[in-house]
Amino acid sequence: MNVLRLAVCIALGCLATAGLQADPNMFVVPSIGPNAQFSPNGPTYNGNAANALLQGAGSLGTPGTPGYYQGLPNDASLPNTANVVTDFPSWMGDADPGGTFGPAFANELGNRLFFGFGIVRGAGDAQFSIADVSFQADSNLPEIMFTVPAGGYVYNDRTIGVLFGLDGMLGGGDDTYITSGPNTQLVDAVFGRGTGLALAVLSSSPGADNQDRLNIFAVSTPNYFIRGTYTLGAFSGNARTFFYAIPEPGTVVGGVVAAMCLAGALTRRLRSGAQAGQTERS
């Protein structure tokens, strides 16, 4: 890992104490993004997230747009409406995202927590493949616990493999990027937007209208955390994010915006027929 990337990770508070290893270097950076599988801005967000991690940047993209990526510090605490996906337009717990946040948000379907990651082999270590990497989500809410076994990830625009150039290190302008082909291709490093998990509120959930459904979710969902852990052989890295209930629905948007602003200062799927509180993963 180059010095810039390591410095950025320390500033983010994203190097998990238990997961930091001398060899390989591994870090996990949570972020809140759009409901990427269904979002019109999902591809933009995916690319921004993966490339920010590759570049060692805390944020990437156009601020104030759904595709903007911003890393969160480890153990960040956010309103639960920052991690709810919907089958109707919403953003950060608001059922009128176009009116509240602007036209670019009008067709968004909520938000999802992603665990972005980076793994860089150490000098003298063997290459590895994305097929060697697994993921485990742990939470005090059992429905959120989730595993991606080894072999579950592939190279694409949101999970980028890197082959070092002649200098034998990351960066320098001579690296080769792997974004397609067999997931067993050996690489020297990999950076990804990572796995995403969220709870769901659907148009069939209890409530007089969609905003009421989101408000009910906001006040009734218990406080919870999600910890995401990536493992490569004997090495692992993790990060954790907390979500809390909103006592007054009218403060939902303001609370999320304030929390994301704090993160900025520190870093300068939907399936039908489910009830509110369903877990969604991607």
pLDDT confidence of residue 276: 34
For helices 252-267 and 3-12, angle between their N-to-C axes, nearest 10 degrees? 140
Instruction: Give 177's pLDDT tier (boundaries 50, 70, 90).
Output: very high
Structure tokens, 53? 């991690």
Is residue 60 within 8 Å of 225, Cβ to Cβ? Answer: no
In this structure, which amino acid lies at residue 265?
A
CA-CA-CA-CA torsion sign (153, 154, 156, 161): positive
For residue 189, pLDDT beyond 60 = yes
pLDDT confidence of residue 244: 97
Q: Which ranges of the chain would DSSP assign to H, the alpha helix?
A: 3-12, 42-55, 97-101, 210-220, 252-267
Structure tokens, 280? 């969604």
For residue 93, pLDDT beyond 50 = yes
Separation of alpha carbons 89 and 101, rounded Å: 12
Which residue matches tokens 């990337």? 5
Give the tens place of pLDDT for each residue, 31-69: 999 998 889 999 999 999 999 999 999 999 999 999 999
For residue 179, pLDDT beyond 50 = yes
For residue 4, pLDDT beyond 80 = no
Instruction: Give 123's pLDDT tier (boundaries 50, 70, 90).
Output: confident
Separation of alpha carbons 12 and 130, rounded Å: 24
**How many C-beta atoms lie closer than 10 Å to residue 166's C-beta?**
7
In this structure, which amino acid lies at residue 233?
G
Local structure of residue 81 (DSSP, 8 states): G
